Structure 1
Amino acid sequence: MPSFAQLNPLRIRSYIFRLPLCTRILIFAIVALWIATIPFTWLRQWASLVPDKVNLASMYRLNTFPLMHLSFLHMVFNILAVTPLLERFESEFGTLVTLVLFTGPFGTLPGGIYTLLEKFLLRSNTTVMGASIWVFLLLAAEAMKTHKANPNFSIGPYKIPTWITPLILVFIISFLVPNVSLIGHLCGAGVGYLWASGYIRFLVPPEKILRWIESKLNLLGRLPHYVSVDQKTYGRYGVLPSTALGTIPRSPEPGQRLGP
């Protein structure tokens, strides 16, 4: 249980200022789109995912529906849930990869699966919107990573596979919270499992191309809070500034490095 000291405004402010670039962009887009719906109420219908309205001319819905929210509280709760997960993902894979995935396949795939299920299996036309589909996608990916280190957790005499925890959460939320999409959340979690298992990693451009783009456009130097895709070479936020290469301290023993 976190203490009140950990939740003080200074810590929250520091955390917000340390958010990486793509996470900031996506959160800003969510807030901006909700604000825009105040004078332009038709935007909500335009951006939401309505299975019967998805066609070649409205494929954009598969990418806009995670950014649109039904109400202010809906938006706030989803932002609180998705921000730390997005930040963790971007810190691991880099800003370019995060931008490519969350403006493309991570909306198109779960949205497309949901549309197909609604139209051809369930014969329904339930409208969905909200970043919760990303929440369960990222939770599923995290659960798969945790499962490798800790395959099970115990509840009394029962051992529960760690990877199944997002699915348990999906059903609990569907039972407790009205007007949430069980199918939509399951679609998001399913794509998260596919990503963590490596089946859809081909959707990310090759690392050589991403590194070339970074160096060609000097993204590390031009964009604050940018996370390099090549963290093995550049670290999380690029090369740290130094006055002279000759002043870099060396390890007293070969094969050992200084610092974290």
Structure 2
Amino acid sequence: MATPAALPPLPFNPGRVRTYLVRLPLFTRLVLVVILAFWLLELQTLWSVVQWGALIPNEIGIGTMYRLNTYPFIHSGFFHALLNALALTPLIERFEAEHGTLTAVALFIGPLSTFPAGLYILVEKVLLHRNTPVVGSSVWVFLLLGSEAIKTYKSNPSFSLGPYKIPTWTSPLFACVFVSLLVSNVSFLGHLCAITIGYFFGLGWMKVFMPPEKILRWIEGKLNLLGRLPHYVSVDQKTYGRYGVLPTSNPAGVSGSQTPMSYLGSSQRLGS
């Protein structure tokens, strides 16, 4: 009697994947849960979730300002949501670990959503006179790519491509073009706006929007967030500190070193 053929090994270690998922911080988990919830809502046919929450330039008004925050959580289908979630998870997880949960909430619900949206509306509606709706968490992925590229540029200004020296800060632009050519129905303009805001964040021009740590510590202590909320990352638990690793103290005569903080990512057309 012939023995059954052995199954081929999995391309990943399920144990490591489970460990990684179990250790995800609080805000990262909430983002993934909200993305999943909106996708499940899209399965019903009585109410169009995409039409309700998409970033549609002509639909933005006093009563629809919520669209500036809902569009990153809404996707145009299962694979759109899945690919964006896979790309975003390690990026937002690292961001939360480096900045803390409260800071991540304040930034991603605030300027890291509304500023790319505002820039997109300005270009799409005012300059181009179009009204293309966009959705998807790819906005955050390309934003973080832009921020990372600026930080990498400070320590490694260029990389070699054959005989050419390419500035490091341009790498998200290449990714933006590549995704637009490879994937149908992606918003090149939406991703470009996200990269631009990511550049501003990486350059430190948005530090004014970072919540003061003194206030964050007071809130955390008053509400005992670290004790009450599982997987919460407090201000004092951050991996590197708000603006990266501080220079190490070395004896006289030995040059100091500094390691910039970083995050990574990828994405798809903000629109369907």
How would you bin the TM-score normalised by the shorter chain? 0.7 to 0.9
Q: 1:46-61 residue pairs with structure 2 within 5 A?
A: 46-61=52-67
The answer to whether 1:85 aligns with 2:91 is yes
The answer to whether 1:45 aligns with 2:51 is yes
The answer to whether 1:11 aligns with 2:16 is yes
Paired residues, number: 231
User: Could you say which residue in structure 1 is the equivalent of 2:31?
Assistant: 26
User: Could you say which residue in structure 1 is the equivalent of 2:78?
Assistant: 72
User: Could you say which residue in structure 2 is the equivalent of 1:248?
Assistant: none
Q: Map Cα deviations across residues 15-69 of structure 1 (whole Å, 9 max, x no partner).
A: 0011111010011101111101111541210000110000111010010000000
User: Could you say which residue in structure 1 is the equivalent of 2:228?
Assistant: 222
**Alignment gaps of 5+ in structure 2:** 1-8, 241-272
User: Could you say which residue in structure 2 is the equivalent of 1:154?
Assistant: 160
Distance 1:118 1:206 in 2: 34
Q: Give TM-score scaled by structure 2 length.
A: 0.82
User: Could you say which residue in structure 2 is the equivalent of 1:203?
Assistant: 209
Distance 1:10 1:73 in 2: 24
User: Could you say which residue in structure 2 is the equivalent of 1:109?
Assistant: 115
- Structure having the larger proportion of residues in helix: 1
Q: 1:116-131 residue pairs with structure 2 within 5 A?
A: 116-131=122-137
Q: 1:175-194 residue pairs with structure 2 within 5 A?
A: 175-194=181-200
Runs ≥4 residues deviating over 6 A: none
Structure of higher RCO (CA pairs closer than 8 Å, 6+ residues apart) = 2
User: Could you say which residue in structure 1 is the equivalent of 2:248?
Assistant: none
Distance 1:87 1:6, change over 3 A: farther
Q: Secondary structure of the residue that 1:175 maps to in structure 2?
A: helix
Aligned AA (1:104) = G
Distance 2:67 2:187 in 1: 17
Shift in Å, 1:177: 1.2
Percent pairwise identity? 54
User: Could you say which residue in structure 2 is the equivalent of 1:95?
Assistant: 101
User: Could you say which residue in structure 2 is the equivalent of 1:174?
Assistant: 180
Q: Map Cα deviations across residues 229-254 of structure 1 (whole Å, 9 max, x no partner).
A: 2337xx79xxxxxxxxxxxxxxxxxx
Does the Cα contact within 8 Å between 1:85 and 1:139 map onto a contact in 2? Answer: no
Q: Map Cα deviations across residues 189-218 of structure 1 (whole Å, 9 max, x no partner).
A: 111111111111111221110111011111
Q: Map Cα deviations across residues 149-175 of structure 1 (whole Å, 9 max, x no partner).
A: 222110111111111101110011112
Distance 2:231 2:54 in 1: 30
Q: Map Cα deviations across residues 59-85 of structure 1 (whole Å, 9 max, x no partner).
A: 100100000000100000000101000
User: Could you say which residue in structure 2 is the equivalent of 1:250?
Assistant: none
- Please, which of 36, 39, 42 is the counterpart of residue 41 of structure 2? 36
Shift in Å, 1:7: 1.9
Distance 1:153 1:5, change over 3 A: farther
Distance 1:5 1:216 in 2: 47
Aligned AA (1:167) = L
Aligned AA (1:102) = F
Q: Give TM-score scaled by structure 1 length.
A: 0.85
The answer to whether 1:231 aligns with 2:237 is yes
When the two chains are superposed, the root-mean-square deviation of aligned CA atoms in Å is: 1.5
**Alignment gaps of 5+ in structure 1:** 237-260
